Amino acid sequence: MHEVRGKDNVGATMDSMELERQRGITIQSAATYTLWKDTNINIIDTPGHVDFTVEVERALRVLDGAVLVLCAVGGVQSQTLTVNRQMKRYNVPCLAFINKLDRLGSNPYRVLSQMRSKMNHNAAFIQLPIGVESNCKGIVDLVRERAIYFEGEHGMNLRLDEIPQDMRVESEERRQELIEHLSNADESFGELFLEEKPFTEDDIKAALRRTCINRTFTPVLVGTALKNKGVQPLLDAVLDYLPNPGEVENLGFIEKEGQEPEKIVLNPARDGKDSFVGLAFKLEAGRFGQLTYLRCYQGVLRKGDNIFNARTNKKVRIARLVRLHSNQMEDVNEVYAGDIFALFGVDCASGDTFTTNPKDNLAMESIFVPEPVVSMAIKPNNTKDRDNFSKAIARFTKEDPTFHFFFDNDVKETLVSGMGELHLEIYAQRMEREYGCPVTLGKPKVAFRETMVGPCEFDYLHKKQSGGSGQYARIIGVMEPLPPNQNTLLEFVDETVGTNVPKQFVPGVEKGKLNLLFVSIKKKR
């Protein structure tokens, strides 16, 4: 395991940027890996602040499982709900880890209740805390029915013991609750429950794995990362309950002219028999030029190979392959399906697909990018810094698809847009630190959004007499909101019956309606 330091000790290891260490928050996602019980685990640490939500989007797009970290004091917060929607969008199974049991006011039971009520998770404890706040001593493993204590200077040594006498009744009740939740989510486990047969540890573990992978149940673990209590059982749970790359179905799409794209299932086998398919999910300017993070979904990639960008059809020769631990790199000669790695000097965009055979015409689903919500005027303090200002803007807009830059002709100002004030302030500070270009930000302008909450019927009668036969039309329809994950789309549905409206009029009505709605949306923005 790599050393991980909390903010109490000059920043976490994964927070390599100076600003991250100063502010005590994660700004950029960072990749690493660890070998746990002879199994390699790829890890991407993502920010918790809503302003850096695109970092979570691109990480979830390429990962097979997630650990949702919740605060034992704060519980389910607004950003927790956002991350929950993102995991649902990419169908990513997850474990929940209730952290910071050692903090004053921690209450993991309240957090579990919030997961059920606010996030609609079928969730239950698979561990219980042995004390909270300053009395946090260890955890009870409800699957194995054993107490676990973390000893040694850094809690590295695990000691298994009997469940404390004063916790045995609660442990039995919570274990029964776990079994009931699993029986509701898993058919084969439910049959054992109805037959009132005793459950073995293997029965419960198998049911936990099936339901977790199918996203029908969320196992809840507890601990305190700062005191290193609960971390080793969490890693065990990652191996036991989250899927490995071979258990996840990843799709590619073969474009065919004039036809719907053909779906194909990518082969996750690590034998290298199939052609390479990879997805670029993050760009970053490093010490040796642009660094492109990729996930290998099929085949093998070796130094010296040629790959092609499916969007631009440009050929790239692989001169160097690296695996990453935060800002440190390890050169490797080859990567296989399931690996996360990085390349140097590749001209591409986030979400591009790379293959070894350009004739495949294969692409993968890209990354969802939310629209910016806040704009600010920006200008360099010194006119002599305009070149550095332009370089910084060009780099940051390429790395971060939620950071936009444009010139407003109406007010004659340069504007930047992002996901929040903190998002834009961070980039302003980075311009000064990394490019020697201090800038001034104006007052934030929020892009207010409106949406309907329910169906709205309309019935409009148009009459106009200006000589001749005149004009007459009656328009009846309903406007209603689309589901939340589609609320930025416009959709027209023809519900006319028979020939009460001549069919040749329908395309014109559709075009006029969608144009009117589109113009209205642009004015709102």
| pLDDT tens sequence across 226-265 | 889 999 999 999 999 999 998 999 999 988 777 888 899 9
pLDDT for the residue 8: 45
Alpha-carbon distance of 64 to 43, in angstroms, equals 10
Alpha-carbon distance of 43 to 4, in angstroms, equals 13
73 and 188 share a domain?
A: yes
234 in any annotated domain: yes
3-state secondary structure of 315: strand
CB 245 within 8 A of CB 121: no
Q: What CATH number is attached to the domain comprising 411? A: 3.30.70.870
Res. 11: pLDDT tops 50: no
- DSSP one-letter code for 276: P
How sure is the predictor about 178, in pLDDT bands with cuts at 50, 70 and 90? very high
Where among 338, 363, 388 does a domain terminate?
Answer: 363
295 and 147 share a domain?
A: no
3 in any annotated domain: no
pLDDT for the residue 360: 78
224 and 323 share a domain?
A: no
264 and 314 share a domain?
A: yes
Res. 64: pLDDT tops 70: yes
323 and 441 share a domain?
A: no
Q: What CATH number is attached to the domain comprising 110? A: 3.40.50.300
Alpha-carbon distance of 227 to 241, in angstroms, equals 24
3-state secondary structure of 506: helix
pLDDT for the residue 518: 67
Where among 363, 393, 420 does a domain terminate?
Answer: 363
393 and 508 share a domain?
A: no
400 and 481 share a domain?
A: no
472 in any annotated domain: yes
Structure tokens given for 142 = 């409800």
81 in any annotated domain: yes
302 and 156 share a domain?
A: no
pLDDT for the residue 416: 93
5 in any annotated domain: no
Rounded to a whole number of angstroms, the distance between the first and last alpha carbons of the chain is 48
Summary mean pLDDT of the chain = 87
Res. 1: pLDDT tops 50: no
204 and 265 share a domain?
A: no
108 and 168 share a domain?
A: yes
Where among 446, 477, 510 does a domain terminate?
Answer: 446
83 and 141 share a domain?
A: yes
265 in any annotated domain: yes
71 and 172 share a domain?
A: yes
Domain ranges, residue 197: 65-243
Q: For the segment 442-471, what is each residue's pLDDT rounded down to a tens digit?
A: 988 766 667 778 888 888 888 887 767 778
37 in any annotated domain: no
pLDDT for the residue 285: 79
429 in any annotated domain: yes
Q: What CATH number is attached to the domain comprising 324? A: 2.40.30.10
Number of structural domains the chain divides into: 4
